[in-house]
């Protein structure tokens, strides 16, 4: 008899609950958010993992706030690290007992995009559009991983196996960040062109922003400046060597000039996304283009912007009809005049996760400390969502099966 499986599910605006769900099988079943074309899909190339750590992400919060078209009862969670407990018939190289990091992108490994390392826009896993993820709206309906057990398709391609079980469990609070936020933040820094000696501005001091700042320092940035409206999150950024700007005091340019002597940086990173708020006296109001426009202002001519922050095509809570369909009032003329480039979209996690794993295992980086990682139980997940939504400077890691007890 299969083990009991409990999971965190979206129950409506502002509500999540822990519910009982079916134990995974090697077939994609019908359920909330599952594209009809995916129902009955055989997953003999998959594995079932028992979750070691599964994290709450800011992208999950967008759904929980009712700011997407996510259906009720969608099982949440795309940041998954686990122990393999079953392998499908066609799995060759992943073995029962392996501890693995699961990229949040679901990718087939067979299509043109996957072969070009564009795993964030795989062509074969989501009938709605290129790209897929676990437990996320419009991503094909693959069941989320904030649960005891989860199915991982195309396992030989998708998972990153940790070389030593004991070492992996010892460093799990860091390694759990490899499924999404560390590569995502790092991708933001890479696509912004960060290198040795760069000056960098990161908009947003949530976990992805702090991961981007960590990534920028790892890449050799001379100065990393983090901007936010939340004093606690800015304080967290300062703990590992970042400068900060308080956006309740106004646009970032003047404060950047006080730090650098000039009101611009070499590289800009948007770690906020579509629920951005105004700056200064406008900080009480949502203004979804604020971050992108301010980044174009403060990024030096010829520079680049990395945009790991999420933007959507359907936002029921958008401030106007345009915002409800992802159409924002961008000052594209500013970007054009300054010859700026910008990169959007899901981070292709596989491009970075092995190298970042090595940086963690060899003590080159302390990502868990930098993002304020905190382990909670599965039953504490609704409280974790509420605290995170209220602005806690914390990255909540769900310890669903007791692997993190005492760590």
Residues 292-350 pLDDT 10s? 999 999 999 999 999 999 998 888 888 889 888 888 989 999 999 999 999 999 999 99
CATH 3.40.50.720 spans which residues of the chain? Answer: 185-343
Q: What is the CATH number of domain 5-180+350-398?
A: 3.90.180.10
Angle at 364 between CA 346 and CA 49, to 5 degrees: 50
Residue indicated by tokens 């790209």: 131
Output the six-digit token pair for 4.
């009991």
CATH superfamily of 185-343: NAD(P)-binding Rossmann-like Domain (3.40.50.720)
Residue pair 213/224 in contact by the 8 Å Cβ criterion: yes
pLDDT averaged per 10 residues in sequence order, the chain, 407 residues: 87 96 96 92 97 95 91 96 98 98 98 98 96 94 97 98 97 98 98 98 97 98 97 97 96 96 98 91 86 97 97 87 89 96 96 98 98 97 96 96 91
CA–CA separation, 130 and 74 (whole Å): 20
Contact 174, 360 (CB under 8 A): yes
Interhelix angle 207-218/181-191, rounded to 10 degrees, is 60
Q: pTM of the entire structure?
A: 0.96
Tell me what the pLDDT averaged over the chain comes to: 95
Distances (CA, A) of 133 to 33, 42, 179, 231: 12, 17, 11, 32
Residues written for the chain? 407
- Integer-rounded Cα Rg, in Å, for the chain is 20
What b/e sequence results for 225-241 when a residue is b if at least 16 CB atoms lie within 10 Å of its CB, and e otherwise?
bbbbbbeebbebbeebe
Give the residue from 206, 211, 277 showing the smallest Cα distance to 240. 211
Closest of 235, 232, 203, 200 to residue 217, by C-alpha: 200
Q: Which two tokens stand for residue 86?
A: 């079953």
pLDDT value for 405: 94
Q: 3-state DSSP: the chain helix, strand, coil percent, rounded to 5?
A: 30, 25, 45
- Confidence at residue 302, expressed as pLDDT on a 0 to 100 scale: 98
Residue 167: per-residue pLDDT: 97
Give pLDDT, residue 2: 65
Q: Looking at the DSSP assignment, which residues form a beta bridge with residue 82?
A: 51, 100
pLDDT at residue 1, as a whole number: 44
- The secondary structure of residue 319, as a DSSP letter, is S
Which of 290, 317, 392, 401 is CA-nearest to residue 65? Answer: 317
Number of H helices and E strands in the chain, helices first, is: 14, 17
- Tokens found for residue 74: 């969608």
Distance CA 401, CA 22 (A): 16
Give the pLDDT confidence score for residue 284 in this predicted structure: 81
Nearest of 86, 180, 184 to residue 134 by alpha carbon: 180
| Number of other residues whose CB lies within 10 A of the CB of residue 224 | 28
Helices (H), 195-306: 207-218, 231-238, 252-260, 290-298
Nearest-angstrom CA–CA distance, 328 and 314 = 12
Nearest to 250 by CA among 203, 283, 211: 283
Query: Facing residues of 5 across strands?
Result: 21
Whole-number Å distance between alpha carbons of 263 and 129 = 40
Q: Where in the chain is the domain with CATH 3.90.180.10?
A: 5-180+350-398
């Amino acid at each position: 008899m299969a083990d009991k499986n409990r999971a965190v599910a979206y129950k409506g605006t502002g509500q999540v609950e822990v519910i009982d769900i079916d134990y995974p099988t090697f077939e994609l079943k019908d359920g909330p958010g599952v594209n009809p074309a995916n129902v009955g899909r055989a997953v003999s190339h998959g594995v079932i993992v028992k979750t070691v750590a599964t994290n709450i992400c800011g992208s999950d919060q967008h759904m929980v706030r009712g700011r997407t078209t996510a259906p009720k009862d969608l099982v949440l969670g795309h940041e998954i690290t686990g122990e393999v407990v079953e392998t499908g018939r066609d799995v060759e190289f992943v073995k029962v007992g392996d501890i693995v990091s699961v990229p949040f992108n679901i990718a087939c490994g067979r299509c043109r995009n996957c072969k070009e390392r564009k795993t964030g826009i795989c062509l074969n896993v989501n009938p709605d559009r290129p790209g897929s993820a676990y437990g996320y709206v419009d991503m094909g309906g693959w069941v989320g991983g904030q649960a005891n057990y989860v199915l991982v398709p195309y396992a030989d391609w998708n998972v990153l196996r940790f070389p030593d079980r004991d070492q992996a469990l010892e460093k799990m609070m860091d390694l759990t960040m490899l499924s999404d936020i560390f590569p995502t933040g790092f991708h933001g820094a890479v696509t912004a062109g960060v290198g040795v000696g760069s000056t960098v501005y990161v908009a947003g001091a949530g976990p992805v922003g702090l991961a981007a700042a960590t990534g920028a320092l790892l890449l050799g940035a001379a100065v990393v400046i983090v901007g936010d409206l939340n004093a606690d999150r800015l304080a967290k950024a300062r703990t590992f060597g970042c400068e900060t700007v308080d956006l309740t005091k106004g646009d970032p340019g003047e404060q950047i000039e006080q730090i650098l002597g000039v009101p611009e940086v070499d590289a800009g990173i948007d770690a906020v996304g579509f629920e951005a708020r105004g700056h200064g006296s406008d900080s009480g109001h949502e203004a979804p283009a604020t971050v992108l426009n301010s980044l174009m202002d403060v990024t030096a001519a010829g520079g680049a912007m990395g945009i790991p922050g999420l933007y959507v095509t359907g936002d029921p809570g958008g401030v106007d009809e345009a915002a409800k369909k992802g159409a924002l009032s961008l000052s594209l003329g500013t970007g054009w005049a300054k010859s700026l480039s910008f990169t959007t979209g899901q981070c292709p996690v596989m491009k970075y996760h092995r190298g970042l794993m090595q940086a963690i295992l060899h003590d080159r980086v302390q990502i868990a400390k930098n993002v304020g990682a905190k382990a909670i139980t599965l039953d504490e997940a609704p409280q974790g969502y509420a605290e995170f939504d209220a602005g806690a400077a914390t990255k909540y890691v769900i310890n669903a099966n007791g692997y993190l007890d005492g760590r």
